Copies of this chain bind each other. A is one copy, B any other.
Amino acid sequence: MTIRRLSIYTRCLTQLEEDGVKTISSQELADRFSLNSAQVRKDLAYFGEFGIRGIGYQVSALKSELQRILGLDREWPLALVGFGNLGSALFNYKGFSRQGFRIAAIFDDDPVKVGRVVGGVPVLTMKELPREIKARNLTIGVVAVPAEVAQGVVDQLVAAGIKSILNFAPTRLKVAKDVRLKNVDLTIELENLSFYLAQGIH
């Protein structure tokens, strides 16, 4: 099963829990969230222990198990690099903290920004990164700088010991094999909309 699907099921189960749903069958889950029912059945079969024959899966217990697998049962301190519009938006994005991701330090070499403290979090220079990684136990780097400078920033993060990077800059980055780099492409979902518009399907 892809990790992405685990994330999607976790979101669905969280919604169901908020709606007061106690148990759900894979078919109902698929119908309710427009998922592929054969795929859902197959995926959830791995979690048979959270199902009751003829009734369905226990929503809260299954959600907790998926969260545990995804590492969402603990807090991950993030290093945010770049505190322009995108960095500020990410810092204020409620979705991060809801899943246990906490921006614990911000890095930006703009002298206007350095030294500020936002919501208790300091804006530091890139030079301070290696020391802060240890001091603040930063495990994931989030890159929110312009595309032109993203490779340099990633190189600095890696040199400072960061092995997991989430990149928002729309550019191709190179990292060593032992570094896990995920790119967030803000246009992918837009293409779902343009597909239907282009096909004339309403």
Contacts and interface: CB of A to CB of B under 8 A. Distances in A.
Interface of A: 3-4, 6-8, 10-11, 15, 68-72, 74, 76, 84-86, 88-90, 92-96, 98-101, 139-140, 142, 147, 163-166, 170, 172, 178, 180, 182-199, 202
B11 A190 contact: no
A116 B182 CA distance: 36
A185 B93 CA distance: 10
28 contacts: A7-B188, A15-B172, A69-B195, A69-B198, A70-B195, A71-B195, A71-B197, A71-B198, A72-B194, A85-B85, A85-B89, A85-B92, A86-B93, A94-B170, A95-B170, A96-B186, A96-B187, A96-B190, A98-B170, A99-B187, A140-B197, A165-B193, A166-B190, A182-B189, A182-B192, A182-B193, A183-B189, A184-B189
B198 A180 contact: no
Most chain B C-beta atoms within 10 Å of own C-beta, residue among A140, A164, A180, A188:
A188
A99 B69 CA distance: 35
Nearest to A11: B185
Complex A-B, nearest 8 residue pairs according to Cβ-Cβ distance, in ascending order: A71-B198, A95-B170, A71-B194, A86-B89, A85-B89, A85-B88, A164-B193, A182-B189
For the residues of A in contact with B, the DSSP-based class is helix
Nearest to A94: B170
A193 B180 contact: yes
Contacts of A100: 194
Contacts of A197: 71, 76, 139-140, 164
A183 B8 CA distance: 12
Nearest to A74: B198
A189 B181 CA distance: 10
Contacts of A76: 190, 194, 197
Most chain B C-beta atoms within 10 Å of own C-beta, residue among A170, A186, A196:
A186
